[in-house]
A and B are shown apart, each in its own frame.
Chain A
Amino acid sequence: MPSKDTDITTAKETATVEGGESYQSQRVPLDSNDGTVTIDFATFEQILEMDDDEDHEFSRTIVWGFMDQATETFQSMSDYLKKKDLKELSSLGHFLKGSSATLGLTKVKDYCEKIQNLGLSRDETGVGRIEDPEVSLAGIKSALDEMKKEYTRVRDYFIGYYDNPNGNHQP
């Protein structure tokens, strides 16, 4: 019974990067920068649809609010890394996961999830256990670093997008 569906569904990353050919035409291009930005535009578009006007006032507020939130959360994470507070780190990961997922920032969300799991002394996927707190902390640190990089790309993308919302971003 299992078919390629199985493989496809399991491959999370793949899903966010490439869709079926049939969707291509309707998809909002994400490669306005270097093509590495990972935004689930289906999700993000939901928010764009909520905009009442061409100024994108609503979604702009959301996005900018998220960027503030992200910046603060990164700072907090760094602080708690120094304090080696895994519990807080996990909680922060969960916190940012919710909003990043809501915006369709798949990679940011994934990093958040990793941090959340690592903070609970689990492995990145949340399945296995990690007994050594130092290992968990190291994992969180690298996930945080990666997440910051991804966030920077996302931020640049958003800034570019809202600078010219009706530019080449729209199909």
Chain B
Amino acid sequence: MEGSSSGGGGAGGGSAASSSSDFVRKLYKMLEDPTHRQTVRWSDTGDSFIVVDTNEFTRNILPNHFKHSNFASFVRQLNKYDFHKIRNNEEGGGNSYGHQTWEFKHPDFQMNNIDNLDNIKRKAPAPRKQAQQNEDGGVQQIEDLNNQVQELSKANQEMTGQVQSLASDNHTIIQELGTMQHVLQQHEERVRIQEKVIDNIMVYLQKLDDEIKEMRPVGGIPSQQRHDNDGRPSSSVSPEDSVTGPATSASTSREHLSTPLQRAQMLLNNPPEILDASPSMGRFRGLSQSGPSETADYSNFGAVNRLAQNGQRPAALPNGIPTVPEDGSATFAISPGTTMVEPFSNGNLGYHMQPPQHENGSLGIRGRPAPSRKRSTPFVPPNWQAPPRVLLVEDDPTCARIGSKFLQTAECSVDMASNGLIAVNKLNNGKYDLVLMDIVMPQLDGVSAASLVRQFDNTTPIIAMTSNIRRDDINMYFNHAVGSGVIEYVLGMNDVLPKPFTKEGLLNMLEKYLSHLKANEGQIPTQLNFNEHDNRIIEEQGTIMAKSGLKYSQSPSKSPQGTVLYGRPPADAGEDPIGETPSAVEDAAYANIIPGYLGDSTAPRATGAFPSPGTLAHGVRRGASEMDDSQQQLMSLDSKKTRY
């Protein structure tokens, strides 16, 4: 075996002279050698060759023909020349070669076809190229990857930035939250304080109530004192007097109505009763006793009393003591507490007393100013220095429209809010001279809105507008209404303007709270005369004020100078004026309370205004033309009472 194989190898090597590869020729020669037939040979078809016994082939034939004995190298060499191993089972003959056989094939390597051997080339270059391509592809891939990395890092940067901004946002939010918590705590603190204040106020009110009750028995005395005071012209009233006044007068007139609150409730419960039992009546009695001359005129006062009772101008009653009926007119002493400086001496201002006949219930009936309110009655807007800025808070479109129109007619600049929330915002952002606030509204009711506003604004007057006067609500409104005196800033509302409000009621409020904005404050009141024939005597303070352009102090306490008492005209000197000071105060307080409860729009004005015009002008004269206004006022009062 060895000999044959070596011989075969030599023959192969000698014939290798063509262009075809050495390896292929050696392979071909080897297969031509029949001596290796049992080890390696052509396949039956002649287009492939078979290594039958790899061990024998490796050991004996490879060394002879290829100078090595590594079958793996041989196979690799074959692969390089593009020979392919054929699976054993692929050919039918495969079986016959045995499982250990290796069969290799190349399209151009065929038995008896030596020429084709030249076509068999090493495929070495190809792999090398492929490698290069791979390399190129790698570069591209790297570039791609680089790009991707860059993109990723960019994205990463963006993300980082976003995260950072989010973090800072978060930080800000947390800070804001902290601030909010702080604010909230402050608010809570404030609310706590307010609650305390309210408690204190309630305690104070209670005390006041008790005190007033205690003082009741003394009532009779003060009234007499009053008379004395009145007698002296231009005597100033001391604050103490004013304070005691209300209590005393109340006691005099009505024992069971010891406190303003009670009186208010009484009024609400039974307005007519109150009317009849007015404090003024008591006073009159006192007067008649003290001064005989006055007694004669006493009957006339019946009408006056009723007016006073209505809460229109309680002060007028005391003032209006008939002194010397020269031509049948009675002169009223001027009440103190008003800022009005006009001496009584100018007798031009006089109110005519009405005969008692006026008592006819007509007054009580149709409260509405209807009769007097004719087209002819001019609506005289106050003479403002500049248009007052009024905020009208009202959810009802009809009321809002009318209210705004009224205010415009009164030459105010009107802003509107349809609920409490809007109102609070507007008040927070702007300055107003007056706020008219509905009570029942969506979003935020008027009472809550007012108390909110009071947290940052203690000065702007807030007037409640409501038709919702029920017993249940008395306390709430009462507190607010009373607030106009002592505790207004805490409780929110300054006054109450009952709905449906009237021109007069509105004007009264404007007069009361915006008098400082008027252009001509110091004017002398014009002459006011009442026609005797008219049933009703009483004059409307607001109307008069508006027309005369007089300024009056809003509340007794505020205007010290108003405390001056005016005596009657010289002619009347002998007469004793009724105790003006105390009565005025009382009346003021009384009026303050009453308006809210009764829904009397004019009443509030009576509080402050009352003393002024009434006091001044109250010489009584006959045959005046102004009656209409006063009548209207009266009527409106009465009507309102009926309504609520």
Given contacts A50-B409, A95-B396, whether A43 and B502 have CB atoms under 8 Å apart is yes
- Chain B's nearest CB lies how many Å from the CB of A1? 4
Contact count A vs B, C-beta below 8 Å: 168
Judge whether A101 and B499 touch: CB under 8 Å: yes
- Chain B's nearest CB lies how many Å from the CB of A170? 8
Judge whether A26 and B372 touch: CB under 8 Å: yes
Given contacts A5-B306, A61-B401, A98-B396, whether A22 and B361 have CB atoms under 8 Å apart is no
| Residues 451-481 of B contacting A (Cβ, < 8 Å) | 467-468, 470-471
Contact digits for A52-86, partner B, Cβ 8 Å, 1 yes 0 no: 00000010011001100100000000000000000
Query: Which stretch, A8-16, A133-141, A145-153, touches the partner chain B?
Result: A8-16
- Chain B's nearest CB lies how many Å from the CB of A151? 14
- Chain B's nearest CB lies how many Å from the CB of A61? 7
Judge whether A62 and B370 touch: CB under 8 Å: no
Judge whether B370 and A27 touch: CB under 8 Å: yes
Q: CA of A49 to CA of B366 in the docked complex: distance in angstroms?
A: 20
B128 at the interface (CB under 8 A from A): no
Pick from B306, B362, B396: contact of A23, CB under 8 Å: B362
Contact digits for B383-402, partner A, Cβ 8 Å, 1 yes 0 no: 00000000000011111011
Within 8 Å CB of A46, what residues of B? 373, 406, 502-503
Judge whether B362 and A15 touch: CB under 8 Å: no
Judge whether B468 and A20 touch: CB under 8 Å: no
Query: Which stretch, B5-13, B196-204, B210-218, B271-279, touches the partner chain A?
Result: B271-279
In the complex, which residue of chain A has the Cβ closest to the Cβ of B366?
A19
| Residues 91-141 of A contacting B (Cβ, < 8 Å) | 91, 94-95, 97-99, 101-104, 106, 126-127
Judge whether B366 and A15 touch: CB under 8 Å: yes
Q: How large is the interface on B (under 10, 10 to 19, 20 to 34, 35 or more residues)?
A: 35 or more
Judge whether B361 and A7 touch: CB under 8 Å: yes
In the complex, which residue of chain B has the Cβ closest to the Cβ of A4?
B361
A159 at the interface (CB under 8 A from B): no
Judge whether A49 and B503 touch: CB under 8 Å: yes
Within 8 Å CB of A35, what residues of B? none
30 pairs of residues in contact across A and B, judged by CB atoms under 8 Å = A2-B276, A3-B361, A4-B364, A5-B364, A6-B270, A11-B642, A20-B362, A21-B362, A22-B362, A27-B371, A41-B368, A42-B366, A43-B502, A45-B375, A49-B503, A50-B405, A58-B405, A62-B402, A95-B395, A95-B396, A98-B398, A98-B438, A101-B499, A101-B643, A102-B396, A102-B399, A104-B368, A126-B470, A126-B471, A127-B471
A interface residue numbers (CB < 8 A to B): 1-12, 14-16, 18-23, 26-28, 40-43, 45-50, 58, 61-62, 65-66, 69, 91, 94-95, 97-99, 101-104, 106, 126-127, 171
**Given pairs A2-B273, A26-B371, A98-B467, 6 additional interface contacts (CB within 8 A):** A19-B362, A20-B362, A23-B371, A42-B373, A66-B398, A102-B499
